[in-house]
A and B are shown apart, each in its own frame.
Chain A
Amino acid sequence: MLQGFVLRQYHKVYRFDNWMRRHFTFTGHLVVAFMIAAAVFGVNTKQSTTYQLFVFLLVLLIFSWLNSRFNRLKVTLTRQLPRYGMVGEPLRYSVMLTNLTARTYDRLALCEQLAETLPSYAQLKIFYHLDNQQWFKQGVSFRRWLRYLAYQRGGVIAETILPDLQQTPLQVKISFIPTRRGTITFTDSYLAKPDVLGLFRRLIVLKTHQSCLVLPKQFPIKPLTLPGKRKYQAGGVSLANSVGNSSEFMSLRDYQRGDSLNSIHWKSFAKHGKLIVKEYQDEYFVRRALLLDTFIGDADTEQFEAAVSVAASIAIDERHNEALLDLMFVGLQTYCFTAGRGVDQLLHLQEILAAVQSSSESSFARLQQAVLARAGLCSSLVCVLMHWDQARQDFIKHLLAHDLPVAVFLLHDGSLTRQRCINKPEHFYLLDYHHLAEQLAAL
Chain B
Amino acid sequence: MNKDLLFLSFGLLSWGWLSQTWLAALGLLFAAVIGKYSTWRWHISPRQFYRCADLSALLVILLLIDVYILRPSSQPIFVLLKWFPVLFSPALFAQLFSSNQKLPLAALFYSLRKQQTEQPQETDFKLPYTALYNRESTVVRLLREIDFIQPYAALTVLSAGAANVQTPAYFIIAVTLFTGILWSVRPKHSPAPLWLLSIGLAVVVSHFGYHGLSQLNALVEEKSVEWLSGWQTDPFKSQTSIGDIGELKLSDKIEFRLKADNPLLLHQASYDIYLGHNWTASKSVFTAESSVLPAVNNELKQLEILQQFNSETVLALPDGTLKITGLDDAYLQYTELGAVKASLPPRFARYQVFYTGQRTGTSGKYDLQIPRQHLDWLQKFSSELKLAGQRPEAVAERIKTYFQHNFFYSLYLGAETDADLALREFMLKRKAGHCEYFAAATVLLLRQAGIPARLANGYAVDEYDSRQDLYIVRRRHAHAWAIAYINGVWQAVDSTPSQWLAMEKEHAGLWQPITDWWSNCMFYFRQWQLQQTRQQNAELGLLAALLLTIYLAWRIYSAKKKLYRNVQPAKITELKPAYQGLDSEFYLIEQRLQNTAQARQHNESIQQWVKRLQLPALNRLYKLHYQLRFDPMGLSIEQRRLLQQRVREWTDNFQNNAAKH
Contact = CB atoms under 8 A, between A and B. Distances in A.
Answer yes or no: do A and B interact.
yes
Given A41-B162, A51-B214, A104-B188, A26 B143 contact: yes
B151 interface: yes
Given A27-B181, A147-B133, A150-B133, A219 B125 contact: yes
Contact of B162 (A48, A60, A88): A48
Interface of A: 25-27, 30-31, 34, 37-38, 41-42, 44-60, 63, 67, 87-88, 103-107, 147-148, 150-151, 155-159, 161, 164, 176-177, 179-180, 194-199, 217, 219, 301-302, 305-306, 309, 433-438, 441-442
B549 interface: no
A372 to B, nearest CB: 32
Nearest to A176: B136
B599 interface: no
B128 A180 contact: yes
B187 A107 contact: yes
B217 A53 contact: no
Nearest to B129: A151
B130 interface: yes
B139 A156 contact: yes
Given A60-B202, A159-B140, A179-B128, A49 B170 contact: yes
Identify which of B154, B186, B210, B218 gathers the most chain A CB atoms within 10 Å of its CB: B210
Contacts of A177: 132, 135-136
Contact of B146 (A26, A48, A156, A435): A26
Contact of A159 (B142, B174, B185): B142
A49 B190 contact: no
B128 A198 contact: no
Identify which of A67, A104, A437 gathers the most chain B CB atoms within 10 Å of its CB: A437
Q: Which 3 A-B pairs have the closest CB atoms?
A: A50-B161, A151-B129, A156-B136
A27 B127 CA distance: 36
Interface in B203-231: 203, 205-206, 209-210, 213-214, 217-218, 221
B632 interface: yes
Given A37-B158, A106-B188, A435-B124, A59 B129 contact: no
Contact of B154 (A34, A52, A164): A34
B162 A53 contact: no
Interface of B: 75, 77-78, 81, 124-130, 132-133, 135-137, 139-140, 142-143, 146, 150-151, 154, 157-158, 161-166, 170-171, 174-175, 178, 181-182, 185-191, 194-195, 198-199, 201-203, 205-206, 209-210, 213-214, 217-218, 221, 577, 632-633
A41 B142 contact: no
A306 B124 CA distance: 12
B58 to A, nearest CB: 20
Contacts of A50: 81, 158, 161-162
Contacts of A151: 128-129, 133
Contacts of B185: 25, 27, 198
Contacts of B140: 156-159
Contacts of A42: 161
Nearest to B188: A106
Contacts of A433: 125
17 contacts: A30-B150, A30-B154, A34-B154, A41-B158, A46-B218, A49-B166, A50-B161, A51-B213, A56-B178, A103-B189, A150-B136, A151-B128, A151-B129, A159-B142, A433-B125, A435-B124, A437-B124
